[in-house]
A and B are shown apart, each in its own frame.
Chain A
Amino acid sequence: MTASVTEPLTPVPVGPVPGDPGPVRANRLRHALLHGRGRVGVVLVGLVLLLGVLGPLLAPYGPTEQIQGANLVGPGAGHWLGTDELNRDILSRTLYGIRVDLVVVFAAVPVGAALGVLLGLVTSWWPVTDVIAQRAFDLLLAFPALILGILITAFLGPGVFTVAVVIVAIELPVFGRLVRTSVRTVREMPFVEASQVVGATPWWVLRKHVLPNSLEPLTVQLAVSMSVAVFVEGAMSFLGLGVRPPHPSLGSLIKDGVRLLHEAPFFAAGPLTIVVALVLGLLLISQSLAEARRA
């Protein structure tokens, strides 16, 4: 400190003072992810992620490989999760199926989120574009997720790509809405006025002030949306709108399992456990993040 700096009469408190915002936010979010509920979520999601990434190495058989003499065998030493009616190893199919969900969760959701944020950010600055974009979002939001899925499949035909498109279409308005709220609050802030007075363009304000200040609530929504995506993939494949046979996905595996519930009750157990772990993990993460934000 230079000599010219005069200290205020009442010393500036060193530690946090009552009524002060808590310690730096980023640390708090990290803390939330590494403790309690958040940690359970991270471990669950991490495990599923690991299984999916290492799937081809771990799987004892190929995903569509038919094994002679192993028709609807129950779980045992040779086939940990048993085999299906077409003599395929369910463990191998599940491991490969996870990969479809990973694409959906970690590619389609971020793409939808990024597009939604971008659209919401740009359109909500000007009243005219704002009205147009928000009504379009209303339209998308008016469709229940599965109806939207069926509609899009009618145009694109079933497949992983269609599932991804459906998820982007579901997430786009959600994130567009969320960003709009942030734009509305941040643009009224004095620091935005201060930069506008010196000649900052709307673009500058959106990029430098609005976007950074609105990212935090988005992290929570991202985790929620990912769990929704797992659910949507499962539901679409269950209805036969998703991954086409013979390729496996968690949803289609569960569908087959339900069909053979009486002959082979063990069938759906593996894929179901994975789906539950993934959705539960993502929800726990989003819950702990939301809590850390509020605290």
Chain B
Amino acid sequence: MPDSPLSPPVLTIEHLAISFAQPRPAVEDVSVTLRQGEILALVGESGSGKSMTARAVLGLLPPGAKATGSIRYDGRELLGLSEAGLNEVRGARIAMVFQEPQTALNPVRTIGWQLREALRAHGLRSRKAATERAIELLRAVEIPEPEQRLGSYPHQLSGGQKQRVVLALALANEPEVLLADEPTTALDVTVQAEILRLLDRIRERTGTAIVLITHNMGVVAEIADRVVVLQAGNVVEEGETRALFARPREPYTRTLLASVLRLPAPGSAVPIAAPADEATPAVEFRNVHVRYGSSRRGRAFPALNDVSLRVAPGEVVGLVGESGSGKTTLGRLAAGLVPLAGGQVLLHGADVLAAPRSERRDLRRGLAFVHQDPEASLDPRLSVGASIREPLDIHRVGTPAERDARVAELLEAVQLPPSYAERRPRELSGGQRQRIALARALALDPTLLVADEPTSALDVSVQARVLELFRELQERLGFACLFISHDLAVVHKVADRVAVLRAGQLVETGPVATVFAQPAEDYTRRLLDAVPVPDPTRRRGRRVRELAS
């Protein structure tokens, strides 16, 4: 919906600056105008100040923060307003939705109770009226059978439904402005697509202006009318979505857009696949089953059901699927971190679990694991060098001097200077930490690397570089890899083959180019369709397709 330039501004932020008792201000100079009924995207990498800006609007800054400048809503200055004054605005005129739907709802209360409470807080006294309004709200966020849902507890809802309830809570008093801080980041792509469409429809129905804070350029292209790009607390560029994507003026915006990974357009030509390798696979799963929970109490939950998969030496296999599909479990199974309930896991043709304990250690030596969370994947007490050295120390490889030399070599391999060996993990950025985790994984020259979402916690520009590095190292060292990711574009970039999992079962496997261009299964097609495309011109086509279906 192209918005008319005449629609009046509802929220005006001028020269906002937020600083803590620290040298670097979180927000330096941000001016943004939000017009009635528009969706404005605030984009930027972590540390760009996009969340802080939104929080400042409702006076939700962390203690110790000092904000200057001006935030005007409806002719009122919000900055420096008293708590009582802010409470009149909060929820009633301006509402906010956060990233994590899990923590936004009270787990011991029903959905109905929480909705009624929110309505009552803003003056709806009658219980009957509140219940009716709650049902109306649930209907507005398109939850099926709202009358029944009122009695449900949050844990009985899926992630997407929870986020819908959170939206319903935010919309309870028909706010004029909705601040949405990464509302879809914690959700699966298919759910994300639904929530984005819902936001768009809510805007059309009620005329609520939405500030969408996101790091995902695909999401921006999908739904935003205007974009404001932030970098290190400053507005870098501002413009209408299509114009900005087509002709970014600033080099920062250009690099940001260039680092976004793209999927090939559907139906593009399929390159001829390389002949299958007949060598002994680096890892082979034979009809594996994994169950969580106690089977004695009959509550065992099947995480993997009869999955068979081979990874040839030197091959990168991407594992994709939504949350709960079992992709992480399969990776952890290869690493020996979850117990096997049935089937066999062969590492280079040898059954790890059948092997005696003493041999198991040697079998696992060729194995390495890279974890998702760069915050927690390195021991905060150890220096970076000691962390990388650890596998060498465990297996007593060479003399201590040789190990140190190997550390320097590994640091160079992940493109970090050898002087970094002295640093502590906390002195590094997220991307650098993941490089270190990669270096540690490569210390013993593994033949199989299990990478569990290694880049999903990183900013796009950092992610692009880490993936490039990964691909280059993989080609040079020739290790096989199980690459787990929920991000299809990432898998497309690094993997040779892809395996699609759904609810613990293998849906489809094949060369990346084939599966992505011509998916054989309906589920794969839906997964691919849901990925937001960082190209606003393709948005219209999708909507038409959706209407047709």
Contact = CB atoms under 8 A, between A and B. Distances in A.
B379 A10 contact: no
Contact of A191 (B44, B387, B415, B424): B387
Nearest to B446: A198
Interface stretch (B122-130, B270-278, B367-375, B502-510): B367-375
B23 A15 contact: yes
A197 B335 contact: yes
Contacts of B382: 208, 212
A91 to B, nearest CB: 47
A8 B382 CA distance: 24
B365 interface: yes
B364 A197 contact: yes
Size bin of chain B's contact surface: 35 or more
A199 B394 contact: yes
Interface in A75-117: none
A6 B24 contact: no
Interface stretch (A16-24, A36-44, A275-283): A16-24
Contact of B45 (A5, A9, A18, A208): A9
A13 B376 CA distance: 20
A48 to B, nearest CB: 33
Contacts of B440: 194
Contacts of A9: 45, 231, 252, 255-256, 459, 461-462
B535 to A, nearest CB: 21
B507 to A, nearest CB: 27
A195 interface: yes
B356 to A, nearest CB: 14
B232 interface: yes
A190 B440 CA distance: 13
Contacts of A17: 22, 24, 26, 47
B444 A198 contact: yes
Contacts of A10: 44-48, 231-232, 459, 461
Which secondary structure dominates where chain B touches chain A?
loop
A194 B22 contact: no
B335 A195 contact: no
Interface in A193-247: 193-200, 204, 208-209, 212-213
Q: Which of A6, A190, A198 has the most CB of B within 10 A?
A: A198
Nearest to A22: B426
A4 interface: yes
Contact of A8 (B336, B361, B462): B462
B24 A5 contact: no
A2 interface: yes
B415 A197 contact: no
Contacts of A18: 20, 22, 26, 52, 62, 65
Interface string B312-347: 000000000000000000000001110000000000
Given A8-B462, A14-B24, A17-B22, A190 B377 contact: yes
A12 interface: yes
Given A9-B252, A9-B461, A194 B431 contact: no
A204 B394 contact: yes
A21 B375 CA distance: 11
B24 A194 contact: no
Contact of A194 (B62, B364, B377): B377
A292 to B, nearest CB: 17
Contacts of B376: 189-191
A97 B27 CA distance: 61
Among A5, A19, A189, A197, chain B packs the most CB atoms within 10 A around the CB of A197
Nearest to B371: A190
A213 B391 CA distance: 19
Contacts of A199: 361-362, 364-365, 391, 394-395
Given A9-B45, A16-B22, A209 B379 contact: yes
Interface in A4-62: 4-6, 8-21, 24
Interface string A66-79: 00000000000000
Given A6-B465, A15-B24, A197 B367 contact: yes
Given A5-B415, A10-B459, A197 B394 contact: no
A213 B381 contact: yes
B459 A8 contact: yes
Residue of B337, B372, B394 contacting most chain A CB atoms (<10 Å): B394
B15 to A, nearest CB: 20
Contacts of A24: 424
Contacts of B437: 194
A193 to B, nearest CB: 6
A11 B232 contact: yes
Contacts of B373: 190
A16 B22 CA distance: 7
Contacts of B256: 9
B22 A15 contact: yes
B52 to A, nearest CB: 8
Interface string B353-365: 0000000011011
Given A13-B47, A198-B368, A199-B361, A191 B377 contact: yes
B168 to A, nearest CB: 29
A1 interface: yes
Nearest to A190: B371
A179 to B, nearest CB: 16
A14 B417 CA distance: 18
Contacts of B465: 6
| Most chain B CB within a 10 A radius of its CB, from A15, A24, A194, A199 | A194
Contacts of B365: 198-199
A245 B148 CA distance: 80
Contacts of A197: 335-337, 364, 367-369, 450
Given A198-B391, A212-B381, A5 B444 contact: no
A194 B444 contact: no
A205 to B, nearest CB: 10
Contacts of B450: 197
B491 interface: no
Contact of A5 (B26, B232, B417): B417
Interface in B79-113: none
B391 to A, nearest CB: 4
Interface in B382-432: 382, 387, 390-391, 394-395, 412, 415-417, 424, 426, 429, 431
Contacts of A193: 335, 337, 369, 371
Contact of A213 (B378, B379, B390, B415): B379
Contact of B426 (A8, A21, A212, A213): A21
B171 interface: no
Contacts of B179: none
A153 B471 CA distance: 70
B380 to A, nearest CB: 7
A2 B417 contact: yes
B441 interface: yes
Given A197-B336, A198-B391, A12 B416 contact: no
Given A18-B20, A198-B367, 9 more contacts: A5-B417, A13-B24, A24-B424, A194-B371, A194-B377, A194-B441, A198-B364, A204-B394, A208-B390
Closest 10 CB pairs between A and B?
A: A190-B371, A15-B23, A197-B369, A198-B391, A212-B381, A9-B461, A12-B429, A190-B377, A199-B361, A191-B379
15 contacts: A6-B465, A8-B45, A9-B256, A10-B48, A17-B24, A190-B376, A191-B371, A191-B376, A191-B378, A193-B337, A194-B437, A197-B335, A198-B365, A208-B382, A212-B381
